[in-house]
Amino acid sequence: MDMSVFDLFKIGIGPSSSHTVGPMVAARRFLIECGPLDKAVGVEAALYGSLALTGVGHATDKAVILGLMGETPQDIDPDSVDDKLAVVELDGKIRLLGTHEVPFVPRTDVVLHKRETLPEHPNGMRFTLKLANGTSMSRVFYSVGGGFIHAEGEAEGRAAAPAAKPLPYPFDTMEQLLAHGKESGLSIPDMLRANERVNLSDEELNAGIDKIWHVMRDCIAHGLVTGGQLPGGLNVKRRAATLWKQSAESVDRANDLPHDALHHVSLYAMAVNEENAAGGRVVTAPTNGAAGIIPAVLRYYAEDCRPTDAVKGIRDFMLTSAAIGMLCKKNASISGAEVGCQGEVGVACAMAAAGLVAALGGTNEQIENAAEIGIEHHLGMTCDPIGGLVQIPCIERNGMGAIKAITAASLALKGDGTHFVSLDSVIETMRQTGADMQDKYKETSLGGLAIHVVTVNHPAC
């Protein structure tokens, strides 16, 4: 497996990892690879397939402009985005990588090809740099889910540099990972830690995981106190803060119901995805559209499961979750534009379920069982965002996915790990189901809820 935990969990901004984070990274990489920009006289970004059909709702047009300016998802201040874009719009110019200025009109230099898809993936984009001598440089990139990108003809690989030496526990399937565990006597998080230590010290690994968790935790906290209306034209009101306040103000504790803790989990997940929909700072886990599930279940673990060592538990949770995400990405997809929402919410649910079992001391077989349950009961889930926005049904769907993850973990922990359908089998089923799914149900907003709900307030409808 040629991925790292930090490939699956990346700090960025909303509203989409494949439609915002990936295109921003691709645009910047294109200009870097073009070399000196002093002879450039113009630049164009052409978006295809799902990027064109739902790009405006997912802020893809804005993301490629920011990438051309040299911005990165992990470093840009979300509060600065509108001002940066307004300067480009007003001046009719863009400063490429922040150094060389050329004419640029967003309405004409970002082109949406809604009826054309490039061959390697539904999320394709072509960047063209125009030179003073009348020639141009052009390259195609694909955003393949979770912020991962690759250039046309380039083997799809990990976002970070390859390992300097072989991993102690290489795996491409869960069967292989379980076999390593039986032979070594190690748990899945311990084997993932050993693999990460090929490139990182324990201190670096722990610091990186802790930082990811802190960003997730802060995202929940901000979402639970921020009200108002989400951008995009649907006039969707943020609900997490109001519902959280109502819960906090309840004084009749005698009438609290057993499911109130799970109500809080739903609010944690919704808070994150409202932040995402507003273009805020989130962690891709493994995608932005499903970014609320893992943070919600992690907070449930830390606050409601009474862990004896929460720090270790959270780290084991993240490492184990990453292992499941790696398997899903390698053997199927985490792209809603490729396999529907089963590859986003379904995979995030499986990752969270497996992580929770690991944090609670479950066996490797119980971890595998929990992940399998998480995906199995999302098979066939479509990606049909109304208005092309990561709002309906995405926000509530994260709350439901978090609850399913806890249920899957509970079922697995109460068993001995033996079960009928293997995780490898259900991942392959997800891949085949995605291949069989009609394109209108794969992040194009051409089917499902996207066309059966009246959205008179949205300009695209």
DSSP secondary structure string for all residues of 36-55? --TTEEEEEEEEEEHHHHST
Return the amino acid letter for 240: A
User: What is the sign, positive or negative, of the torsion defined by CA atoms of 298, 304, 305, 309?
Assistant: positive
pLDDT (0 to 100) of residue 248: 83
Can you read off the two tokens belonging to residue 228?
């108002």
174-455 architecture in CATH? Orthogonal Bundle (1.10)
Can you read off the two tokens belonging to residue 333?
């997809």
Domain edges within the chain: 19-143, 174-455
19-143 architecture in CATH? 2-Layer Sandwich (3.30)
pLDDT (0 to 100) of residue 163: 45
Can you read off the two tokens belonging to residue 32?
């870097």
- Cα separation, 72 vs 236, whole angstroms: 28
pLDDT in tens, 377-399: 999 999 999 999 999 999 999 99
pLDDT (0 to 100) of residue 452: 87
Count of alpha carbons within 13 Å of 356, Cβ hemisphere only? 36
Give pTM, 2 decimals.
0.92
Q: In tens digits, what is the pLDDT along the chain, a chain of 461 residues?
A: 789 999 999 999 999 999 999 999 999 999 999 999 999 999 999 999 999 999 999 999 999 999 999 999 999 999 999 999 999 999 999 999 999 999 999 999 999 999 999 999 999 999 999 999 999 999 999 999 999 999 998 875 444 444 457 999 999 999 999 999 999 999 999 999 999 999 999 999 999 999 999 999 999 999 999 999 999 999 999 999 999 999 887 755 555 666 677 899 999 999 999 999 999 999 999 999 999 999 999 999 999 999 999 999 999 999 999 999 999 999 999 999 999 999 999 999 999 999 999 999 999 999 999 999 999 999 999 999 999 999 999 999 999 999 999 999 999 999 999 999 999 999 999 999 999 999 999 999 999 999 988 554 444 44
* H/E segment holding residue 27: helix 22-34
pLDDT (0 to 100) of residue 324: 98
Contact assessment for residue 452 and residue 387, using Cβ atoms and an 8 Å cutoff: no
| E-only strand ranges, 309-355 | none
Of 378, 380, 381, 386, the C-alpha closest to 447 is 386
Contact assessment for residue 7 and residue 17, using Cβ atoms and an 8 Å cutoff: no
- Cα separation, 178 vs 182, whole angstroms: 6
Can you read off the two tokens belonging to residue 178?
């379980």
pLDDT (0 to 100) of residue 158: 42
Helices marked H in 185-239 — which ranges?
188-196, 202-223
Contact assessment for residue 360 and residue 414, using Cβ atoms and an 8 Å cutoff: no
Can you read off the two tokens belonging to residue 106?
């967003």
Return the amino acid letter for 251: V
pLDDT in tens, 96-108: 999 999 999 999 9
C-alpha dist (Å) from residue 322 to 193, 328, 345, 348: 11, 10, 15, 10
Phi and psi torsions of 147, nearest 5°? 85, -5
Return the amino acid letter for 151: A
pLDDT (0 to 100) of residue 157: 46
